């Protein structure tokens, strides 16, 4: 089945957005690394790995459906942060943007009666729900405990424990 033009183009753009997300989250990791918060830095390095996995899943899907994938230029992240809360807020804002972008892909697939692509995107819709929930929780945790050095230390230890597991139910 050939992909409808709009669906293929939106998915190709989504590959780029996922790689940009990885770039962006590495800059968050850099901020926390420089602050000495290795756990928060670890969280965002792992997050970057997840974003690369997302990009690869969509790339694989495009190739499997004979769409000529274009590796578009990745924008330079331009955010600077004044405090430990700001990257967390920027992450939630970014994930909401990605959710809207996935929804746009879904709407195009729906309109084209492209049920195969809708099935691929079902996974991403669920994943976005989890990513937004994680981002919100990190903000709440920082607001509740981050102003106390022991609270911040304990959060940092918690985030240090995160490790990367590739999604086993998706082809890359």
| Residue of 23, 119, 5 whose CA lies nearest to 76 | 23
Rule CB under 6 A: choose which of 44, 51, 59, 87 binds ligand FEO. 51
Calculate the alpha carbon distances from 74 to 20, 43, 71, 113 in Å: 6, 22, 9, 31
Q: Is 27:137 a contact under the CB 8 Å cutoff?
A: no
d(CA 26, CA 99): 20
Q: Which of 131, 138, 155, 159 binds ligand FEO (CB under 6 A)?
A: 131
Per CB under 6 A, the list member of 10, 18, 88, 106 interacting with ligand FEO is 18
Look up residue 169 and give its DSSP letter: T
Q: Is there binding between residue 56 and ligand FEO (CB under 6 A)?
A: no
The answer to whether 90 contacts ligand FEO (rule: CB under 6 A) is no
State the minimum distance, in angstroms, from the CB of residue 23 to ligand FEO: 12
Residues binding ligand FEO (CB under 6 A): 18, 21, 51, 54, 95, 98, 131
């Amino acid at each position: 089945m050939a992909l409808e033009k709009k669906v293929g183009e939106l998915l190709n753009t989504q590959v780029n957005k996922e790689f940009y997300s990885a770039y962006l989250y590495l800059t968050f990791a850099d901020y926390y690394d420089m602050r000495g918060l290795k756990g928060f830095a670890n969280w965002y390095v792992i997050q970057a790995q997840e974003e690369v996995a997302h990009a690869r899943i969509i790339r694989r899907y495009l190739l499997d459906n004979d769409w000529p994938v274009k590796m578009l230029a990745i924008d330079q992240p331009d955010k600077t942060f004044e405090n430990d809360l700001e990257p967390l807020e920027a992450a939630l804002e970014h994930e909401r943007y990605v959710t809207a972008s996935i929804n746009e892909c879904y709407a195009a697939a729906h309109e084209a009666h492209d049920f195969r692509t809708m099935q691929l995107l079902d996974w991403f819709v669920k994943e976005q729900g989890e990513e937004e929930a994680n981002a919100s929780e990190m903000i709440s945790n920082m607001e509740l405990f981050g102003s106390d050095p022991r609270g911040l230390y304990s959060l940092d230890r918690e985030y240090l424990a995160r490790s990367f597991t590739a999604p086993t139910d998706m082809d890359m």
